[in-house]
Amino acid sequence: MKPADYLNEWVNKITPYSPGKTIEGTTKLASNENSYGPSPKVIAGLREFLPQVFRYPYKNLHVKEALAAYCRVKPENVVISNGSDEMVELLIKAFKGPVAGLYPTFLSYPIYSQIYNREYISSALEPDFSFNVQRFIKETWKANLLFLCSPNNPTGTVIELRDLEEIAQTGKILAVDEAYFEYHGITAKNLLLNYPNVIIMRTMAKAFGLAGMRIGYALADPQIAEAVRKVRGPFTVNYLAQEAALLALKDTDYMKKIVSRVLTDRKAIEIRLSEKYRVIPSNANFILFDVSPMTSKEFFEKMLEQKIVVRPQPQFQGFPGNYVRITVGTTEENYKLLDAISKM
């Protein structure tokens, strides 16, 4: 047998995740990062910890306590992970399939389902990207683990809390991905009080500006939280990431100030984009819009000529239009973006 013959047969079918492109000398508005970066106190504070990186990470408990205080839950409700991307993996590892999610939505749910050989069911949003709870419940009846992203990437649309509660009432494991919570300000966290099957997923990659540090977390019933910890490696959140999380959580005022700046700029960009394109109103730090009659790839290339990297979206089956997603950057970057668009 050749080495490849020993592979699990489903591995050959995996479509790897394709991240937004980072190209030297360009302005990247393609991965929903926070271009302002973390609080300056994080950067200054981390220097002090650099000489200690020979140690294995040992501050999980401190990070859990700090996140619990930030989220107003108990530390036993918190699980941390190497980005919320790892949390998606941990949940798929820990729980039975089939897995279900929206269409379109964040691609890690179908990709990790493929990696773990779980059946994945996609339930499409309505043509205007709104959420139809009855349709979702009907189409995902077979699934045991549901991922609902709100605000949803890439649409920026949200799911009403009453709809999430109706789904929680099915008793299935419901993971609500709130990666963009700080930009929307509304959380399904209170469902945890009555529904131990609900898991809230969050990240410090977006509003806290720590995408490169890889810190995700989930809020869950203590029993579920313990089960998820069991399927995680012992040191997946590294030494510096733990310190960065602790420092960032000490300066949430900075994070809030930046979020408010991003929201102001988002509004201005939406208005300007609407003059030329059909814009999907956003509840996050990015905007999805239809660039027809141009194709998404053409738009991407025209922007790249002007040294701006945006995220062309694949053709969404059943959704007419050619979509591009842009991240709201710093005010300076946003001016560059609008200037480039006005020259097109």
Ligand X SMILES: Cc1ncc(COP(=O)(O)O)c(C=O)c1O
Stretch that binds ligand X, among 64-72, 79-87, 188-196, 235-243 (CB under 6 A): 79-87
Rule CB under 6 A: say whether 155 interacts with ligand X: no
Please state, in angstroms and rounded to a whole number, the distance separating the CA atoms of residues 239 and 54.
9
3 state DSSP class of 43:
helix
What residues contact residue 188 under an 8 Å CB cut-off, 6+ apart?
150, 161, 164, 176, 178, 198, 200
Distance of closest approach, residue 6 Cβ to ligand X, in angstroms = 30
The answer to whether 157 contacts ligand X (rule: CB under 6 A) is no
Q: Find the shortest distance in angstroms from Cβ 262 to ligand X.
A: 15
Give yes or no for a contact between 154 and 288, defined as CB atoms under 8 angstroms apart: yes
Site map (CB under 6 A) of ligand X, residues 164-203, x = contact: -------------x-x-----------------------x
- Site for ligand X, residues 291 to 320, rule: CB under 6 A: none
For ligand X, which is the closer residue by CB, 47 or 233? 233
- Pick 116 or 141: Cβ nearer ligand X: 116
Give 51-54 contacts, CB < 8 A, sequence gap 24+: 52/239, 53/239, 53/240
> Rounded to the nearest whole angstrom, what is the least distance from the CB of residue 206 to ligand X in the complex?
7
Q: Does 106 bind ligand X (CB under 6 A)?
A: yes
Rounded to the nearest 10 degrees, the angle between the axes of helix 108-115 and helix 83-94 is 50
Coil, strand or helix at 66 = helix
Site residues for ligand X, 81-100, by CB under 6 A, read 83-85
Find the part of the chain contacting ligand X (CB under 6 A) among 4-12, 80-88, 113-121, 221-229. Answer: 80-88
Residue indicated by tokens 């299935």:
172
**Selection from 292, 17, 313 nearest residue 156 by Cα:** 313
- Compose the 29-68 pattern: x for residues touching ligand X by CB under 6 A, - for all others: ---x------------------------------------
Q: Which pair of tokens denotes residue 75?
A: 């530390």
Whether 313 contacts 104, CB under 8 Å: yes
**Binder to ligand X among 27, 77, 123, 153 (CB under 6 A)?**
153
What is the DSSP-derived secondary structure letter of residue 201? E
Nearer to ligand X, 205 or 340 (CB): 205
Size of the site for ligand X (CB under 6 A): 13
User: Which is nearer to ligand X, 89 or 290 (by Cβ)?
Assistant: 89
Binding mask 234-253 for ligand X (x = CB under 6 A): --------------------
243-267 per-residue burial string, b: 16 or more CB within 10 A, e: under 16? bbbbbbbebbebbeebbeebbebbe
Q: Shortest Cβ distance from residue 203 to ligand X (Å)?
A: 3
Q: How far is the CB of 326 from ligand X (least distance, A)?
A: 14
Q: Please say whether the beta carbons of 99 and 78 come within 8 A.
A: no
99-105-111-117 Cα dihedral, nearest 10 degrees? 20
Given candidates 30, 78, 149, 328, which one binds ligand X under the rule CB under 6 A?
149
The nearest distance, CB 247 to ligand X, in angstroms, is: 17
Among the listed residues 205, 244, 328, 340, the single contact to ligand X using CB under 6 A: 205
**Closest residue to ligand X, Cβ-based?**
83
- 8 A C-beta contact, residue 341 and residue 272: yes
Residues engaged in binding ligand X (CB under 6 A): 32, 83-85, 106, 149, 153, 177, 179, 203, 205, 211, 216
